[in-house]
Amino acid sequence: MDSRGREVLLLLVWGDLLINYVETMVVPAIPTIQNDFSISSTLASWITSAFIIVGAVVSPIFGKLADLYGRKKMYLISLGSYLIAVGLAGFSPTIYTLIGARAIQGLGYGIFPVGLAIITDVLPPEDVATAQGLLSGSVGIGTALGLIVGAYIDQNLGWQYAFHTAFFLSLAFFVVILLGLKDTGTRVKQSIDYVGATLITLGMVLILVYITEGPSLGWLNYENLTMLTLGLLLVLAFIPVELRVRDPLVDMRLMRIRNVMVSNLVGIVSSIALMIMYFGIIYYAQLPPPFGLGLDIFSAGLTLAPATVVMLIVGPIVGKLTGDIGPKPLLLVGSVISVMGFLLLISNRSSSQALVEDVIVAGTGMISIIIPLINMIAVSLPETARGIGLGVNTLLRNLGASIGPVLATSIMTSYKDPYVFMLNGKILSISFYPSRTAFDVMFEVAILVIVVNLGISLATKNYRLREKRGKIEADVRSR
Number of H helices, E strands in the chain: 17, 2
Distance CA 395, CA 59 (A): 6
Cα separations in angstroms, 109 against 67, 103, 161: 16, 11, 22
Tens digit of pLDDT for each residue in 365-414? 988 998 888 788 878 887 767 777 777 787 778 778 777 877 787 788 77
Helix (H, G, I), strand (E, B) or coil at 158: coil
Are 44 and 33 in contact, with CB atoms under 8 Å apart? Answer: yes
In CATH, the number for domain 3-192+249-478 is 1.20.1250.20
Tens digit of pLDDT for each residue in 251-289? 777 778 899 999 999 998 998 898 888 778 877 887 888
Tens digit of pLDDT for each residue in 323-341? 889 899 999 999 999 999 9
Helix/strand/coil percentages in the chain, nearest 5: 80, 5, 15
**Residue 477's Cα: distance from chain center in Å?**
44
Are 48 and 26 in contact, with CB atoms under 8 Å apart? Answer: yes
Average pLDDT over residues 88-107: 92
Phi first, then psi, for residue 161 (nearest 5°) are -70, -20
For the chain, the structural domain boundaries read 3-192+249-478
Helix (H, G, I), strand (E, B) or coil at 433: strand
Distance CA 218, CA 230 (A): 17
Are 294 and 287 in contact, with CB atoms under 8 Å apart? Answer: yes
Q: Is the pLDDT of residue 190 over 50?
A: yes
Average pLDDT over residues 24-38: 80
DSSP for residue 416: E
β-pair partners for 433 = 417
Q: Which of 90, 80, 93, 95 is nearest to 49 (CA)?
A: 95
Give the percent of the chain with pLDDT over 70. Answer: 87
Tens digit of pLDDT for each residue in 442-464? 999 999 999 999 999 999 999 88
For residue 467, what pLDDT is reported? Answer: 56
Confidence of residue 466 (pLDDT cuts 50, 70, 90): low
For residue 447, what pLDDT is reported? Answer: 96
Helix (H, G, I), strand (E, B) or coil at 431: strand
466 burial level (CB within 10 Å; 0-12, 13-18, 19+): middle
For residue 301, what pLDDT is reported? Answer: 66
Stated as kind and residue range, the H or E segment containing 454 is helix 436-457
Distance CA 388, CA 288 (A): 45
Distance CA 348, CA 266 (A): 27
Helix 352-380 crosses helix 258-286 at what angle (to 10 degrees)?
Answer: 160
Confidence of residue 317 (pLDDT cuts 50, 70, 90): confident
Q: Is the pLDDT of residue 475 over 50?
A: no
Are 171 and 83 in contact, with CB atoms under 8 Å apart? Answer: yes
Tens digit of pLDDT for each residue in 197-244? 788 878 878 887 787 777 677 778 888 899 989 999 998 998 888 888
